């Protein structure tokens, strides 16, 4: 099996040390190179044309990444991909302290105090937080690459409105839960000082650490804010152009195409979506979220500028290869087409996505097979955010508490690409 060398803590608990060593020996003897190639062989249709970036990066992969996970922007899918990367490459992921839930005490400004001690020092961070560069700089290595993802504000607001309709007091106050009624007079329902107010107004700017209440008429504020963001973030992805975003991400970090495979996570059922067909409503949403709208427009423009600098033929081929590889992986995992299911119909509890309220239906996936027959790679691919965060915390706590000293000749390092960055210090 392609990814048989992945070890999981539940299994780890049950496996004797001897067996673990045996497993390493087995994988080791198969040879790192062979293993890596066989992985690619199984998911990727063809090697790229000569002039395009190879599917397997010849450069050392960059492993220090801070992903600002914004709300309702397909960021859970990116987080899942980063978590899986971290596990495969033995990279420590900063995770929230228990008191912070699975987010870093959002909506508070991020503080390094929110990070669970067993996950320090990290090389990757990908859970919800309100951006605070000073604190992140103290926590993360100095070669950290900052990335984030934005979404077109009309679709994003619709998503926020229905997802947080029971959380956000501004939305709860609206008669009949009607988005149209809210938009006709937002200030009648919105109070900026309330808890969870940020889900109702310029949420992107809030998540990025900006001031969502700033007067959009002030023509100096946003350009300055954007310059700050551009000075920190190497890549701003866009939910609307997800595959292209991942291709840019792969090039930025010198990752393999295998490292950006995904299936979409944390989606609502079609029935839970409001259909915004009216240009009037769309304009109202943009006017109410004027800062977010201008922010998005700016980064959409720079995104396309970035893409236009690439060889268009190569870009298209890579997007297609990614798409095909994701489909192959999904066919393998689901033994056919992935079936989106309401949470209660998902048999495996570990795979049931969190439901924000009875009025919204967040759909997830079930996997064929159960127990030892479950393919671990597939399990991770569809594991919802809350469960994956808990799982990673357990795994990393186990590792840090036990202080496992790797056996020299069989060092698991041999299974991994050689270290390219300062080794992770054991805490």
Ligand X SMILES: *[C@@H]1O[C@H](CO)[C@@H](O)[C@H](O)[C@H]1NC(C)=O
Encoding tokens for residue 163?
């997802």
The count of other CB atoms within 10 Å of the CB of residue 402 is 9
Q: Which of 58, 278, 307, 321 is nearest to 158 (CA)?
A: 278
Contact in structure between 123 and 145 (CB atoms under 8 Å): no
Among 175, 231, 371, 418, interactor with ligand X by CB under 6 A: 175
Residue 70 region, left (φ>0) first, then alpha (ψ -120 to 50), else beta? Answer: beta
Q: Residue count at the site for ligand X (CB under 6 A)?
A: 25
Rule CB under 6 A: is residue 240 a binding residue for ligand X? yes
Among 51, 275, 277, 337, interactor with ligand X by CB under 6 A: 275
Question: What contacts 24+ positions apart, CB below 8 Å, involve 24-27?
Answer: 24/410, 24/412, 24/414, 24/415, 25/410, 27/415
Q: Which stretch binds ligand X (CB under 6 A): 244-252, 270-278, 322-330, 345-353?
A: 270-278
Count of helix runs (H) and strand runs (E) in the chain: 17, 8
Decide whether 16 or 176 has the Cβ nearer to ligand X: 176
Provide the mask over 56-85, with x wherever binding to ligand X is found by CB under 6 A and - wherever it is not: ------------------------------
Rule CB under 6 A: is residue 313 a binding residue for ligand X? no
Among 16, 29, 51, 176, interactor with ligand X by CB under 6 A: 176
Min dist CB 300 to ligand X, Å, is: 4
Rule CB under 6 A: is residue 340 a binding residue for ligand X? no
Rule CB under 6 A: is residue 180 a binding residue for ligand X? no
Rule CB under 6 A: is residue 283 a binding residue for ligand X? no
Rule CB under 6 A: is residue 300 a binding residue for ligand X? yes
Q: Is 353 helix (H, G, I), strand (E, B) or coil?
A: coil
Decide whether 295 or 367 has the Cβ nearer to ligand X: 295
Q: Which of 195, 193, 188, 187 is nearest to 169 (CA)?
A: 195
Q: Is 319 helix (H, G, I), strand (E, B) or coil?
A: helix
> How many Å apart are CA 222 and CA 205, to the nearest integer?
10
Decide whether 251 or 273 has the Cβ nearer to ligand X: 273
Environment class of 307 (CB within 10 Å of its CB; exposed 0-12, middle 13-18, buried 19+): middle
Residue with tokens 């977010």: 292
Rule CB under 6 A: is residue 279 a binding residue for ligand X? no
Rule CB under 6 A: is residue 412 a binding residue for ligand X? yes
Rule CB under 6 A: is residue 423 a binding residue for ligand X? yes
Rule CB under 6 A: is residue 228 a binding residue for ligand X? no
Rule CB under 6 A: is residue 400 a binding residue for ligand X? no
Rule CB under 6 A: is residue 364 a binding residue for ligand X? no
Q: Which stretch binds ligand X (CB under 6 A): 59-67, 68-76, 266-274, 320-328?
A: 266-274
Name the helix (H) or strand (E) containing 149: strand 145-150
Rule CB under 6 A: is residue 421 a binding residue for ligand X? no
DSSP secondary-structure letter at 383?
-
Contact in structure between 55 and 116 (CB atoms under 8 Å): no
Min dist CB 223 to ligand X, Å, is: 17
Min dist CB 22 to ligand X, Å, is: 15
In the complex, which residues of this chain contact ligand X (CB under 6 A)? 90, 109, 142, 152, 175-176, 181, 209, 240, 270-271, 273-275, 300, 304, 404, 406, 412-413, 416, 422-424, 426
């Amino acid at each position: 099996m392609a990814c048989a060398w992945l070890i999981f803590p539940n299994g780890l608990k049950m496996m004797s040390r001897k067996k673990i060593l045996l497993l390493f020996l087995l994988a080791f003897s198969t040879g790192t190179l062979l293993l890596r190639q066989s992985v690619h062989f199984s998911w990727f249709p063809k090697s790229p044309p000569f002039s395009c970036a190879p599917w397997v990066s010849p450069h050392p992969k960059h492993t220090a990444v801070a992903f600002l996970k914004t709300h309702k922007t397909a960021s859970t899918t990116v987080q899942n991909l980063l978590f899986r990367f971290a596990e495969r490459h033995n990279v420590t992921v900063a995770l929230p302290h228990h008191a912070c839930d699975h987010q870093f005490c959002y909506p508070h400004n991020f503080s390094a105090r929110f990070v669970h001690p067993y996950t320090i020092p990290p090389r990757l961070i990908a859970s919800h937080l309100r951006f605070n560069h000073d604190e992140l700089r103290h926590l993360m290595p100095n070669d950290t690459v900052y990335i984030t993802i934005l979404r077109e504000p009309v679709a994003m607001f619709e998503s926020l409105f229905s997802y947080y309709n029971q959380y956000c007091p501004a939305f709860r106050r609206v008669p009949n839960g009607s988005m149209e009624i809210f938009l006709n007079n937002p200030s009648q329902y919105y109070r900026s000082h309330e808890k969870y107010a940020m889900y109702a107004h310029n949420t992107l700017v809030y998540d990025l650490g900006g001031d969502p209440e700033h007067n959009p008429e002030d023509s100096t504020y946003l350009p300055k804010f954007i310059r700050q963001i551009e000075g920190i973030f190497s890549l701003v992805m866009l939910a609307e152009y997800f595959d292209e975003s991942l291709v840019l991400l792969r090039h930025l970090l010198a990752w393999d195409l295998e490292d950006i495979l995904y299936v979409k996570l944390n989606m609502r059922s079609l029935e839970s979506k409001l259909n915004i067909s009216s240009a009037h409503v769309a304009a109202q949403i943009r006017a109410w979220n004027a800062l977010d709208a201008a922010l998005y427009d700016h980064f959409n423009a720079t995104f396309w500028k970035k893409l236009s600098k690439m060889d268009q033929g190569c870009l298209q081929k890579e997007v297609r290869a990614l798409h095909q590889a994701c489909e192959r992986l999904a066919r393998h995992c689901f033994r056919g087409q992935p079936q989106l299911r309401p949470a209660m119909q998902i048999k495996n509890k570990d795979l049931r996505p969190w439901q924000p309220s009875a009025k919204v239906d967040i759909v997830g996936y079930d996997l064929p097979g159960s127990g030892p027959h479950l393919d671990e790679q597939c399990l991770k691919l569809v594991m919802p955010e809350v469960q994956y965060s808990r799982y990673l915390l357990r795994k990393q706590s186990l590792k840090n508490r036990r202080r496992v000293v790797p056996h020299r000749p069989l060092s698991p390092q041999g299974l991994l690409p050689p270290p390219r960055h300062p080794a992770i210090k054991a805490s």
